[in-house]
Structure 1
Amino acid sequence: MDALIKLLDENLEYISHEIIEDTIYIHIKSNKIVACCPHCNTPSERIHSHYTRSFQDLPISGKKTVLILNNRKFFCDNEDCNRKTFAEKFDFIEHKAKKTKRLEAEIINLSKNMSLISASKLLGKSVATVSKSTVCNIFKKRNTNIR
């Protein structure tokens, strides 16, 4: 399982998983020592707090996948920065997103040639739980034409 998690980011570490019905819930954490403030780019090792962030990813063995990340907030040590704390960021997911970038790409790929309702039903059976408005929003975000 750890090897699958490393495909998202080398700095992620597998903690545990559980399977409930048709979904795998995978608990992960970052093992980075230092994170850089996204506003001033100052590195920090001082952890402010932790919070849980969950999001969907590509299916594993035909089961929907939900990743539960133990995300950390750091102190920004730059006195000139207007932010005192910041959350660590990851390249595989946008800020506040509920789906990984690779899942969004798969949703677009599978939904290109069908209606939003059909795409939502198809995706919901085996890929990820998505509504027709979510499919539409992903297309808009990526500036992709929808049918």
Structure 2
Amino acid sequence: MHPTGNLVADTICRTAELGLTITGAADAGTATIIDVAPVAVADSCPECRCPGVKRDHVTRRLVDLPAVGFPTRLHLRVSRFTCANPDCSRRIFQASLPCADDGAKLTHRVSRWTLQRLAIDRMSVTATAKALGVGGELVNRGAVTAARNLVYADPSHLAGVRGAVLRFWGVDEHV
């Protein structure tokens, strides 16, 4: 698929803030599937920072914020490269995305949204998982990761704290 550059669709789904552009969409009944492509692709090797040679692409699937009450899945076409540096230990690498960590299943904004639903809105893990169309364990991992990122973003934030437990899983079973 070629990027359509549909500004209206990108704005409504807020994919522009993720650094993505919509190339297609489908109604999968219980979820909305949005095909997207990165706006800019970084082709430098993560180990040696040398530019790579385009090899092929893979489709990466990410969970994004619910749209109009339905879980949303982003299907990204991500380029893979071969490192041009013969001395580099890494031969093949995938372009990194600004919207999600390498290997993650949730976008950064879903992790933040999940943490807000659990901590501020007091929404249960089960209800949050249902809204996203994923399992409770993934919701819990995303919330814990988002909480850790908040804590480590400003090390002085918890100066003097000797211990903290970041655990959301299990709350639903005791209600």
TM-score, normalized by length of structure 1? Answer: 0.82
**Is 2:135 aligned against 1:131?**
yes
> Larger % of helix: which?
2
Residue 51 of structure 2 corresponds to residue 51 of structure 1: no
Shift of residue 93, structure 1, vs aligned partner: 0.3
What is the deviation of 1:29? 1.7
Task: Give the superposed CA RMSD.
Answer: 2.3
- What is the TM-score of this pair, normalised by structure 2? 0.70
**Offset at 1:125?**
4.0
Which segments of 5 or more consecutive residues in structure 1 lack a partner in the other structure?
A: none
Task: Indicate which of 13, 21, 40 corresponds to 2:21.
Answer: 13
Identity %: 23
Structure 1 residue ranges, 4+ long, deviating more than 3 angstroms after superposition: 31-34
- Equivalent residue, structure 1, for 2:156: none
- Once residues 128 and 42 of structure 2 are traced to their aligned partners in structure 1, the CA distance between those partners, rounded to angstroms, is 37
Which one has more relative contact order, counting CA pairs under 8 Å at least 6 apart? Answer: 1
Q: CA offset at residue 14 of structure 1?
A: 1.6
**Distance in 2 between the 1:78 and 1:27 partners?**
33
In terms of Rg, which structure is larger?
A: 2
The size of the alignment, in residue pairs, is: 141
Unaligned residue ranges in structure 2 (runs of 5+): 1-8, 149-164, 169-175
Partner residue of 1:28 out of 3, 21, 36: 36
Q: Match of 2:136, as an amino acid?
A: K
